[in-house]
């Protein structure tokens, strides 16, 4: 039984990220800022330039 | 008959020694402050490592309990995720992971399997791209500046899954943190959803359909990468702390030796001037 979000083209990773963002947005203000700060991603993924 | 020209080393003048002493004292200040910074970052990283280990242990539990092994197949595709960071001055952290990756690539290619590498950390890219550039699939930057978050691991896992490289199995190679002074380079397995589904022991579990397994696999991948990131960051900070500590100690030793040389040279200069004055006075 395929989940609705899988049919819409989301991966489980994307689905859980969206759920986690919703939970963070629902927190009380003092916990909200800490949670949002703890969760931001600061990695950059690059493809190596293939020498053609 | 030519003179045998031996090397006559000029005794270092007071000015040379003073300059050298000043520069080494500055270096010692810098390494000491780097050690303090690394110590504080290490304390924070270690505190955040304990909950992260729970994530990783949970994800790996299925692989261990169900004893999942990839089928011995000539056409197996492998992926290696090497986790270090962007910054140096932390001892043998980067070279250990690079060595493990190189030997793994050598083993796999000699067995005829295809392998691609994901570099998490700029230092790893620098170490690998010259010799194994054709195996590199993705590079990640801005690792190590801030503590890793689950979002970082999600990004890496998403890029791997979207890259179109249909891997069957793989491993994450990272430095596992053991204590302040010791870390060990280890690898944890990574499997694709198909490999897990076709493994023989999966029939033991009921209520597993392909969709559930696929969801679990994606999430397990993120958890394993997250664990590797956290462990690697803690090991890196502790290694930087030890190496900066050693550097400060070496600098103090050199400072002591140089101070002694400086005093001896100073006394020699004074004695020489005195002798000149006395012999000059005696000549009058």
The interface predicted TM-score of the complex, written ipTM, equals: 0.91
Does this model's pTM top 0.80? My answer is yes
Whether residue B138 contacts residue A47, with contact meaning beta carbons closer than 8 Å, is answered with yes
Would you give per-residue pLDDT tens digits along chain B (284 residues)?
Answer: 555 555 545 567 899 999 999 999 999 999 999 999 999 999 999 999 999 999 899 889 888 888 777 777 667 889 999 999 999 999 999 999 999 999 999 999 998 889 999 999 999 999 998 999 899 999 999 998 999 999 999 999 999 999 888 888 889 999 999 999 999 999 998 888 888 887 777 777 777 788 888 898 899 999 999 999 999 999 999 999 999 999 999 999 999 999 999 999 999 999 999 999 999 888 87
pLDDT, position A41: 86
Q: Is B122 exposed, middle or buried (0-12, 13-18, 19+ CB in 10 A)?
A: buried
The mean per-residue pLDDT over the stretch A22-49 comes to: 90
**What would the pLDDT profile of A8-17 be if each residue is shown by its tens digit?**
989 999 999 9
Asked if A11 and B158 come within 8 Å (Cβ–Cβ), the reply is yes
Please report, for chain A, the start and end positions of each structural domain, with discontinuous segments joined by +: 4-39
Instruction: For residue A40, list chain B residues with Cβ-Cβ distance below 8 A.
Output: 149, 151
pLDDT band at A22 (very low <50, low <70, confident <90, very high): very high
Nearest to B79 by CA among B125, B162, B136: B136
Asked if B151 and A16 come within 8 Å (Cβ–Cβ), the reply is no
pLDDT, position B74: 64
pLDDT, position B12: 75
Whether residue B25 contacts residue B255, with contact meaning beta carbons closer than 8 Å, is answered with yes
Helix (H, G, I), strand (E, B) or coil at B209: coil
CA–chain centroid gap for B283, Å, is 69
Out of B139, B151, B154, the one facing A46 most closely (by C-beta) is B139
**What would the pLDDT profile of B20-76 be if each residue is shown by its tens digit?**
999 999 999 999 999 999 999 999 999 999 999 998 998 898 888 887 777 776 678
**Calculated CA dihedral for residues B256, B258, B261, B265, nearest 10 degrees:** -130
Q: Which residues of B241-275 are buried (b: 16+ CB within 10 A; e: fewer)?
A: bbbbbebbeebeebbeebeeebeebeeeeeeeeee
Find all residues with CB under 8 Å of B203, minimum gap 6, and list them. none
B213-217 contact pairs (CB < 8 A, 24+): B214/A12, B215/A3, B215/A6, B215/A12, B216/B62, B217/B191, B217/B192, B217/B193
Asked if A41 and B211 come within 8 Å (Cβ–Cβ), the reply is no
Residue B149 sits at φ, ψ, to 5 deg, of -120, 170
pLDDT, position B1: 54
Q: How many beta-carbon contacts under 8 Å exist across A and B?
A: 73
Residue A21 sits at φ, ψ, to 5 deg, of -65, -40
Instruction: For residue B210, list chain A residues with Cβ-Cβ distance below 8 A.
Output: none
Asked if B140 and A44 come within 8 Å (Cβ–Cβ), the reply is yes
Report the residue of chain A nearest B135, measured CA to CA: A48
Asked if B150 and A39 come within 8 Å (Cβ–Cβ), the reply is yes
Q: CA of A29, closest CA in chain B: separation in Å?
A: 21
Per-residue CA distances from B132 to A46, B115, B125, B148 (Å): 17, 11, 10, 27
β-bridge partners, B172: B81, B188
Q: Which helix (H) or strand (E) holds B82?
A: strand B77-83
Q: Is B74 exposed, middle or buried (0-12, 13-18, 19+ CB in 10 A)?
A: exposed
Rounded Cα distance between B160 and B274, Å, is 77
Asked if B141 and A43 come within 8 Å (Cβ–Cβ), the reply is yes
Asked if B157 and A1 come within 8 Å (Cβ–Cβ), the reply is no
Instruction: For residue B129, list chain A residues with Cβ-Cβ distance below 8 A.
Output: 48
Out of A11, A40, A41, the one facing B161 most closely (by C-beta) is A11
Best residue in B84, B149, B161 to probe A by mutation, most A CBs within 10 Å? B149
For chain B, give the mean pLDDT: 89
């Amino acid at each position: 039984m395929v989940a609705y979000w899988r049919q819409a083209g989301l991966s489980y990773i994307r689905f859980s990220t969206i759920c986690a963002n919703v939970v963070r947005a629902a927190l009380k203000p003092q916990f909200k800022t800490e949670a949002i700060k703890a969760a931001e991603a600061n990695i950059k993924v690059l493809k190596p330039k293939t020498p053609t | 008959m030519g003179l045998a020209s031996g090397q006559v080393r000029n005794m270092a003048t007071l000015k040379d020694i003073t300059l050298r002493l000043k520069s080494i004292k500055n270096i010692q200040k810098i390494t000491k402050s780097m050690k303090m910074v690394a110590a504080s970052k290490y304390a924070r990283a270690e505190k955040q490592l304990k909950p992260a280990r729970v994530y990783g242990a949970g994800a790996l539990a299925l692989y261990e309990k169900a004893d999942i092994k990839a089928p011995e197949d000539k056409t197996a595709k492998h992926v290696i995720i090497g986790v270090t960071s962007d910054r140096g001055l932390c001892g043998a952290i980067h070279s250990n992971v690079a060595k493990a990756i190189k030997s793994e690539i050598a083993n796999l290619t000699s067995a005829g399997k295809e392998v691609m590498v994901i570099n998490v950390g700029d230092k790893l890219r620098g170490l690998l791209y010259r010799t194994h550039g054709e195996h590199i699939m993705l590079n990640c930057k801005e690792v190590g500046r801030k503590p890793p978050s689950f979002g970082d691991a999600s990004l890496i896992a998403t890029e791997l899954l979207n890259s179109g490289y249909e891997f069957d199995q793989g491993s994450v190679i990272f430095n596992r943190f053991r204590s302040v002074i010791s870390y060990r380079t280890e690898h944890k397995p990574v499997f694709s959803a198909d490999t897990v589904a076709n493994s023989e022991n999966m029939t033991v579990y009921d209520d597993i359909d392909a969709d559930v397994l696929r969801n679990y696999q994606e999430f397990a991948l993120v958890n394993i990468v997250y664990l590797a990131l956290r462990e690697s960051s803690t090991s890196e900070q502790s290694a930087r702390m030890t190496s900066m500590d050693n550097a400060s100690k070496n600098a103090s030793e050199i400072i002591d030796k140089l101070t002694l040389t400086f005093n001896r040279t100073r006394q020699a200069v004074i004695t020489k001037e005195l002798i000149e004055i006395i012999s000059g006075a005696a000549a009058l």
